Amino acid sequence: MSNAQNTTVKRSKLSFSRLYKASYQKAGSKTLEVKQLITTTSHYPSKKYNSSLQDGLFTESEFGAETNSYTQEETRVAWILVPENKTETEIKLMLNSLPNSCIYKVLSNEPILDENQKQSISSGLKTKADFANSQVVRYGENHEKAGQLILDADGNVQYRRTFFSKEVKADEDYRGNGQVYMSREIEMEFDGASVYFDQNV
């Protein structure tokens, strides 16, 4: 949980990245890749006068405490199926007609599954472990711990997915609800993983 006094989130306009045929593309479709820059600025009081367990009569600013600001930038990516006959020009025009569209993020301590994925598990085409292994949060390639698991503040594995929305939609965070899942492969890595408190996943 953040200790920020207040947080502002600025979203860039959704941008066209590429239109392509994936290796296992569904018949009659192509894949559209879109990107969006998310800038989050958190404002923290330089001194704390109030307690998390007791209401204060005055805010930190009323004590004259200065505010420190911390900004994080995150480029999000989402993939959308589009009809095979649609051109890049048509897609760009469509994106321009959706000024409030965004890419929102979902975080959880268990795999984040849509209805199609749940059906593929029920049909025996995939397992929950397959989705866990592909969604689990890891350090990026430029980090000294590249490829290793990133645990949340409670020391649990975490999963992340991003989704396209035609309208502005808040991020969803289901971590900490007591539902934690690890595949056998993730369990084997788990002992050597570390909590990254200043994380932006």
| Total of domains in the chain | 2
Q: Lowest mean pLDDT: which of 32-46, 55-69, 145-159, 169-183?
A: 55-69
Q: Cβ-count burial of 159 within 10 angstroms (0-12 exposed, 13-18 middle, 19+ buried)?
A: buried
Enter the DSSP assignment of 25: P
Distances (CA, A) of 188 to 14, 79, 153, 182, 191: 38, 30, 20, 9, 7
**Same domain for 109 and 95:** no
In angstroms, the CA 4 to CA 2 distance is 5
pLDDT score at 1: 46
pLDDT score at 4: 62
- The phi, psi pair for 135, rounded to 5°, reads -100, -15
**Same domain for 151 and 166:** yes
**Same domain for 93 and 117:** no
> Residue 79 belongs to what domain range?
1-49+64-99
Mean pLDDT value across the chain: 90
**Same domain for 80 and 133:** no
pLDDT tens-place string over residues 132-153: 999 999 988 888 888 999 999 9
In angstroms, the CA 54 to CA 29 distance is 56
pLDDT value at 195 more than 70: no
pLDDT score at 166: 97
Contact, 35 vs 76, CB < 8 A?
Answer: yes
pLDDT score at 197: 47
Label residue 99 by pLDDT band (50, 70, 90).
very high
**Same domain for 7 and 68:** yes
**Same domain for 133 and 92:** no
**Same domain for 126 and 159:** yes
**Same domain for 83 and 145:** no
**Same domain for 94 and 32:** yes
Q: What's the CA dihedral at 161, 120, 151, 52 to 10 degrees?
A: 70
Within a domain: 9:
yes
**Same domain for 183 and 117:** yes
Question: Around 12, how many Cα atoms within 13 Å sit in the side-chain half-sphere?
Answer: 14
